[in-house]
Every structure is written in C-alpha cells, then in structure tokens.
Amino acid sequence: MIRERLSGNEAVATAMKQINPDVVAAFPITPSTEVPQYFSRFVANGQVDTEFVPVESEHSAISACVGSQAAGARTMTATSSCGLALMHEILYIASSSRLPITISVVNRALSGPININADHSDSMGARDAGWIQLYSENNQEAYDNLIQIVRINEHKDVMLPGMVCQDGFITSHAVENIELLEDEIVKTFVGEYEPEHYLLNPNETISIGPYDSSNFYIEHKRQQAEAVKNAKRVVMEIGKEFEALSGRSYGYFEEYRLDDAEVAVVIMGSAAGTAKETADRLRAQGIKAGVLKLRMFRPFPGEEIAGALSHLKAIAIMDRAESFSNMGGPVFAEVKAAMYDLETRPKMIDYIYGLGGRDVRVESIKTVFDALQEIVKTDETGDVYRYLDVRE
C-alpha cells in the first residue's frame, strides 16, 4: 500500500495512469480540467502508452470515445456541468451501443445563472441515459470507485458505460491523505480489455449504431435493461474482490449508525461526512440518529434501501439537485418509490440542499434531524418538499 496526499482530481488521474487506458479523449471544463491535464503529463512522460486525443468540445470528446471503444479500445474521459450536458445526445448512443466507456464526472452546477461550484444537477440530468453511476464521498472513494467501475463496465454480463462522480472543488481540489494500490496490483485487477465484438476485429464484420426499426428497437432496450439489472450483482462481486486487495469495503450504500436508529438522513457525495459527524454529536446527546450514504445511484438498489430503512420512524432524503417536478428531487423520488411496497413505512421528507456550492454545515444537518424528531413526536409530516439553508 502506498500512502500519498492527493486531491480528488489527482487521485482519479493516478487511477487512470495505473489502468493505462488505450484512449483518452477530453476537453477541459472547470472543475474537471485537472483530470486530463494531470493525465496528459503521464502521456508526455511516457508513463502510459495511451493515445491522448485533445478535441474541440465535450460533444466531440464523447463522440471520439464512442468511436475508439467501438473499435476495441478501452477509453476514458472526464467532464463537468455543461460539458456533460453537451455530451447528452451521445451518452445514449454509448449506452445503447453497449460500449463500456468510463467518465470521471466532477459534479458542478448547471447554468444558469453561471456557477462553477458543486451540486449534482449535471449527473442527475444524465441519470436515465443508461450509464452506471457511482458517487464518492472523498478522494479515496473517487480513486477506488474509478478502478472498480472499469471492471464493472466491462463485465460480459454488463457491457455498459459508467461514470464516477465526485463533488467539484470540495473533493476534486482539496488534498487528503490517501492509500494507493501498487501499479501492478491495479493492472492485474483491471486486466486487459478483451471485447467479444468490435469494429477492428478481422474475423467478424459488424455495424455499430445502425438504424433500429420498430420491429427490433424494444427488444434491444429490453436487453439493455437486463444488463443494468446484471450490474447490481456485478457491483457486489467486484466490490468483494476489491476489498480482498485493499481492505476497503464497498457496496450499494454505507449504513452509518443505522442499526438502532430512529431517525436518519439519506445522502450522497461529500456532504455524507458532515451528516455522519452530525449523527455522532446527536448520539452523544442520546438521540438515535443514523445516516445512509448512497454510493450507487444507477442501477438503483431499491429493495436493499427499503430493507435498510424500514425500521426507522422518520427519514429525510437529501437532494443536491432540483428536478423541478414540484414533488422533490430525484433521490427522493427513487427512495420514496422503493419504500412504497412496505407494509409500514417511515415518514419521509425531502430537502433540496447545497445547490451551486452552498456550504453544508453540521448546524445545517442538525436542523434536518430536529425536523425529523418533531415529526416523530407529533406524527405529522408537514411539508414534504423543503429547502435547506435558503433565504426565503
């Protein structure tokens, strides 16, 4: 094990170096720019033999990724915010073509107004594009998730693209202590990319991205949905293999002081650390507070989440993105749907928080737990759809 001090962007670029992909096609955008910037140094220094393709836009970056992955090359890129939005058309092509591309998404608010700080509106806008989505609380998880997702994406029962998300500036630029695996261990763990079907295979003639008539389209979508279902199993299998190498355990989510909790928050990304600290302080006061930190948002582990939360009296789901449905954010919608079939359900409320990089403090999360305790006391949910720390 190698002990280092790296920013989240450096950690991701280091994981990419150890994986040594065949192609990286990228266009800079704050706050993900450093990922291809650091990686380009590894290319220039001869530390990898990757073909680095600087392109003229994010749409071109993901299009180049589709072309190279279809040709049989393991391919990666990185982006944020409006860059991911500009890729939107091609995200669907990548997933429907079953191309296991990897994107490092450094989460940033979408315009407008223009904002360069962290929230999850960019990746949440792409949540139904058919990509696997893993979210990282800190730099260590961003590094670990990137290594694992390559194996998940390329598994023969999955063959889907995936994105590893981390919060812009909060983790991407902040330096933390981190434990790296040795290069050879990562190389062996990831292995070589050996696709069954690819354009440059001289023994097989195939077409990528053909026109699909109504006679076949729905069957292909059904196959794609089955691959997403398979990804749930594969995520756990790869997680167990990674734990054997690193000692770090990863599943669909992390249950923090949840076993005997009466109230809890469901949260993902960097603010999970703040939620855990808040739970610790409340526990010291005798309040049975817990946290469920969601790591995998796509595919969504609904049954497992329902099982983990079923014993609670009240829960708050935290959304760092607004879906403008007037019914709450995207995480709330998924969790609430997952809980619907339970015979007895906890009271549930949603908080929109941290948009545009608004600070999330222990004091802020405490007000959420205060609201949950009031709900338990009165048995009245009140407003389900709430905002945290906003000037009304």
Q: List, for residues 133-176, the tens digit of each pLDDT value.
A: 999 999 999 999 999 999 999 999 999 999 999 999 999 999 99
- Start-to-end Cα distance in the chain: 49
Q: Looking at residue 175, what DSSP letter applies?
A: E
Q: Can you count the helices (H) and strands (E) in the chain?
A: 13, 15
State the virtual CA torsion across 147, 28, 36, 141 in degrees, nearest 10. Answer: -30
Tokens standing for residue 204: 């097989």
Tokens standing for residue 91: 């995200």
Query: What integer pLDDT is reported at residue 343 of this predicted model?
Result: 92
Q: List, for residues 270-326, the tens digit of each pLDDT value.
A: 999 999 999 999 999 999 999 999 999 999 999 999 999 999 999 999 999 999 999
Distances (CA, A) of 65 to 3, 53, 205, 286, 363: 32, 9, 20, 52, 43
**For the chain, which domains are there?**
2-246 (3.40.50.970), 253-387 (3.40.50.920)
Q: List, for residues 64-99, the tens digit of each pLDDT value.
A: 999 999 999 999 999 999 999 999 999 999 999 999
Q: Is the pLDDT of residue 115 over 90?
A: yes
